[in-house]
Structure formats: C-alpha cells, structure tokens
Amino acid sequence: MSSPTLAAAPHPPRDNDGVDGARPLLELTGATVRFGADAALDDVSFRMFPGEVHSLMGENGAGKSTLIKAITGALPLDAGTLVLEGRPVRFATPYDAQRAGVSTVYQEIDLLPNLSVAENVLLGREPRAFGLVDHRLMRRRAAAVLADLGLDVDPASTLGTHPVAVQQLVAIARAIATDVKVLVLDEPTSSLDLDEVAELFDVVRRLTARGVAVLFVSHFLDQVYELCDRVTVLRDGRFVGEYLTRELLRIDLVAKMLGREVSELAERQRGAVAEPEAVPLLSARGVTTARGVQGVDVDVAEGEVVGVAGLLGSGRTALARAVTGVARLEAGSVRVDGAGARLDSPRRAIGLGLVYSSENRRTEGIVAELSVLDNITLALQAQRGALRPIPLARRRELAQSWVDALGIRPPDLDRPAGTLSGGNQQKVLLARLLALAPRVLVLDEPTRGIDVGAKVEIQNLVGELADNGLSVVFISAELEEVLRVSDRVVVLRDGRVVGTVESDDVTTGSLLALVARPDEDGG
C-alpha cells in the first residue's frame, strides 16, 4: 500500500472529512506560539472529528506538548484561531477549556490518592446540601460515571489503594464527569501492562461511540495503529501532514517524524565483551528484597550491556534499586571486581562506581526548576560535599562538554531543565551520571515517553559507552529495544530469573514467550 509523499503539506487535507461526513469538532488554524525568538509552533493547523481517535506524532521538541497546551488553555496563541463546534473560542485557563468540554488526562496522574474514588471523580464539583458536601449523593454520581465507562470500582474506596491502571481510568472518569466533547490523553499507557492497556482502549471506544473526540498521544506505534483513526505529524514546530492511519505505513510515519529515512539510523555494532570465565565486573548472588526479587543471580562483564526483561511486577526495578544501594538487601550479596560490596546507600554504591537512573524522571530524576548546568553537575557536587564547591567556570566547562557530547538541545546551560523535551531531559540525566565516571550504569526505562529518534540516539549512546568499557544494565518494557541494545538478556518473572539468553540467539517473539510463559507448575 502506497503512502503520501514525504513532502510537508501546508494545511490538513480537506477532501476526507470525518465519520459519516461530519465536520471537525475542534479545529486549530495557523497556530503560532513563541518563546522569545523561538517558535514552538509555527503556523500549525490541526483538527479533530467527533467519534474519532486522533494521534499526534513527532519527535521530542516537535511541538506536541505546546499544541496540547494551546487547545486546553494552558498556553495562549500568539497567532491563529481555535474553533470548537463551529464557534471561535479562546481559553484563558485550563478551567475555561474544561467548562467548554475540552479535558486532559496527563501521563503523571494528577489526583489525590488519600481521598476516595468518588471525591477524586467529583473534585471541585461536589454536590452539597445545606452548605455541606453530600457524600452519599457524591458516591452515587461517581458510581454512575464509573458504570458508564464499564468500570467496576467502589466509589467509596481510597484511590491510593488501587493500582496505577485503575487510577488512570479514574482520572478519565473525572475528565468526563462534565459534558466532555474533546478528551486529550497524554501518554496514558506508559505505566500499564497489556491487559490494562486493553481495558483503557475499551473505555476510549465507549467514549468515541458517544461522539467524543479523543486525542491519543503515545510513543508506542503498535498502540497508535491499533486505536487511532487519524494521525497528525509535527516536526520542529511545523505541520508535516494529517493522514488516515490505515493508509500510512509505519516506516513512512517514522520517516515523516524524523525528516529522514529510517535506514539512515545507525544500528549498534556490538563489540567484544569479557570472556564468560573472566571475573565479572558486577556479580550479584541470591539478591532478595522485601518486595520484588527473590534469590536473583546476575553477572555483568566489563563493557557488556545486560538487558533485563519482564512484565510489570516481575522485579525489574526492584533488582535495579537493590544493586545500586537504593533499596536494602534482605538477603544475598553483591561483588564488584571480585570484592564484596556493602551497598547500604546510593552514595556508597556511587563510590564503587555503580550508578542508577530511575524510571521516574519526574520525581527521582530531573529537578525541573534548576538549570541544565545545575542538573548535570548536581551529583558530582553532592559527591564532593558542600565544603568543596566546584568553581563555576569548571562546572560550566564540564556541563558544556556533556551537552556537546550527548547532543542536548537546545544547548543552553542556563535554561530550566524542565522546559526541555523528554528525550533531552533523559540526556541531561545521563550526563549527570556520566560526570561521576561510573563503571556500571543501571538504566531503568531510559527511553520511556520519548520519541523514536531520541530513542535511537540513546540506544546508540549505550552501545558507544559499552564499546568504551562501561558496563550497562538496561531495563525496558519494550522487548525489541532490549534485544537491540543488549548483549545478553536476563528474563525475570515473579521476582525470579527464569532464563538468560544471548540477544543474537532469540527473536522478539521467542523472548516474549519466555517473558509471559506460565510456570510449569501452573503458578
């Protein structure tokens, strides 16, 4: 099946209207948003039809987040027009957008876990009687909203007692508790397993059956092609094109996002690693934690990339935190270069050359308000102590060298790190860790929530680091990525190692079978 040409179109095609010939429910025309001299959006047009799921695709920094903020009242337009149901609108705040029927559910769930499900669903809209909150009526109304989405959740239960997937669905229930017309889902599946994703998709289909237009933002191409009717591609803040998903090949979609052919992306050339009989640089035996892993053995040779694969809850993160001093060992031992290592804190692990990059960039990684300079030199200064400050000139020289080496964009040391795209924030975190001159780098979901181009850059960077002698433990929920990056893959299931395979000896399908295969005893 042929696909549209790579050349950018100035505006969305007008010859293919929505379902049953419907006109756009929401339409943005000529949208421009500037930050100083830079245009985050440059004359972008975008439209959504009732009853459709629309995907917004592009590399980090392409303008996706800016466009979402523009249509939800979080950012004003410098130029352009927003039309909702045929009428021009201008939202001064997200609250104005919600009142008009445009709601957003973000990747980081913005709810109150200490309150009940009902209180979260109707937060700010609680029914009252005689000036007091009518809790009984609130629970009934919340139950009706949940039932409308096919969710069997006790509205009186405390939200924080439920898994992330349920909390995500409660966030959607809150968004549609008003008369929602447009629902924006920003990376809603990043922390969900396959069954939970399927449940979320069922909820989305229920909404579109009622005529709601859903904007689904995700970096998982499989999910985009399974769920979405249309896709709009942005690149460098400009409109590339709008396409029917069924008419656009995946390889062409990636090419449009990147502005170059996928064949131009370099593959990692695996170098030689230490012989199996050599003393591993990192050796863990019988690692057991209070929750997560039970009796796990892992070896990592110098210059080797060891992937860790497994479903959510398999113990991947627990293992990473245990071997880097973040979580306490209940049993087992860790040796570095054959010598016993006492890992009772991350500081002690860093002293041994073991560093950890958390899967949660927001709460355990980037300090959004601090500059790129401060974020990169943060750990190095902490290691030296407050009484030995690194001279500013040396800090700038060091940070600039990593900005150049990793291709961090924009290359502005004084810019708040939180304003960078997800891929560039991840590079800043890597720069912070690499500035410590580690021997073993443990990366937990380093490419989660970033675009295809940035993923490939980080994957290739991991290969380059390994080729230069750095040992890497690479954890990812994407099995294809694990195989692409790793020399060997350790497979976890229910907190135990169920297999270790050479990457060249398995396919994504056979690795998935090993990850998901039930235990032989039926457990």
* Nearest C-alpha neighbor of 233 from the set 453, 450, 59: 59
Q: What is the model's pLDDT at position 11?
A: 39
* Rounded distance between C-alpha atoms, residue 204 and residue 10, angstroms: 30
29-43, 107-121, 248-262: which is most confident? 29-43
498 pLDDT more than 50: yes
Residues 150-157 have a mean pLDDT of 88
Helix (H, G, I), strand (E, B) or coil at 519: coil
Residues 157-169 have a mean pLDDT of 84
Residue indicated by tokens 């973040």: 326
Distance of CA 73 to CAs 47, 97, 301, Å? 16, 6, 51
DSSP 8-state class, residue 10: S
Q: How confident is the model at residue 520 (pLDDT cuts 50, 70, 90)?
A: very low
Residues 492-517 have a mean pLDDT of 87
Q: Which two tokens stand for residue 172?
A: 């959607």
Q: What is the model's pLDDT at position 517?
A: 67
6 pLDDT more than 80: no
196 pLDDT more than 50: yes
- Residue 32 neighbours by CB under 8 Å, 6+ apart: 39, 41, 42, 43, 44, 77, 78, 79, 80
Is residue 263 within 8 A of residue 459, CB to CB? The reply is no
Is residue 481 within 8 A of residue 475, CB to CB? The reply is no
**Domain ranges across the chain:** 1-101+181-262, 108-178, 265-353+438-523, 360-437
Distance of CA 334 to CAs 301, 310, 348, 427, Å? 14, 22, 13, 28
**So what CATH class is 1-101+181-262?**
alpha beta
Residues 233-245 have a mean pLDDT of 93
Question: Please, what is the average pLDDT of the chain?
Answer: 85
Q: What is the model's pLDDT at position 329?
A: 92
488 pLDDT more than 60: yes
Of 162-176, 380-394, 419-433, 452-466, which gets the smallest average pLDDT?
Answer: 162-176
448 pLDDT more than 50: yes
* Rounded distance between C-alpha atoms, residue 11 and residue 28, angstroms: 11
Q: What is the model's pLDDT at position 60?
A: 65
What distance, in Å, lies between the first and last C-alpha atoms of the chain?
Answer: 44
377 pLDDT more than 70: yes
Q: What is the model's pLDDT at position 521?
A: 43
Distance of CA 44 to CAs 63, 64, 183, Å? 10, 11, 20
Dump strand ranges (E) for 364-459: 440-444
Give the whole-number percent of the chain exceeding pLDDT 90.
Answer: 50
Q: Does domain 265-353+438-523 have CATH number 3.40.50.970?
A: no
Q: Which two tokens stand for residue 201?
A: 């998709």
Q: What is the model's pLDDT at position 518?
A: 55
320 pLDDT more than 80: yes
Q: What is the model's pLDDT at position 261?
A: 56
Task: Please indicate whether the domains covering 1-101+181-262 and 265-353+438-523 agree at the CATH topology level.
Answer: yes
- Residue 260 neighbours by CB under 8 Å, 6+ apart: none
Q: What is the model's pLDDT at position 252?
A: 85
519 pLDDT more than 70: no
269 pLDDT more than 80: no
322 pLDDT more than 50: yes
Q: What is the model's pLDDT at position 399?
A: 95
Q: Which two tokens stand for residue 68?
A: 């979402």
Dihedral-angle region of residue 467 (phi above 0 means left; psi in -120 to 50 means alpha; beta otherwise) = alpha
Q: What is the model's pLDDT at position 251?
A: 80
Residues 320-343 have a mean pLDDT of 93
Q: What is the model's pLDDT at position 13?
A: 41
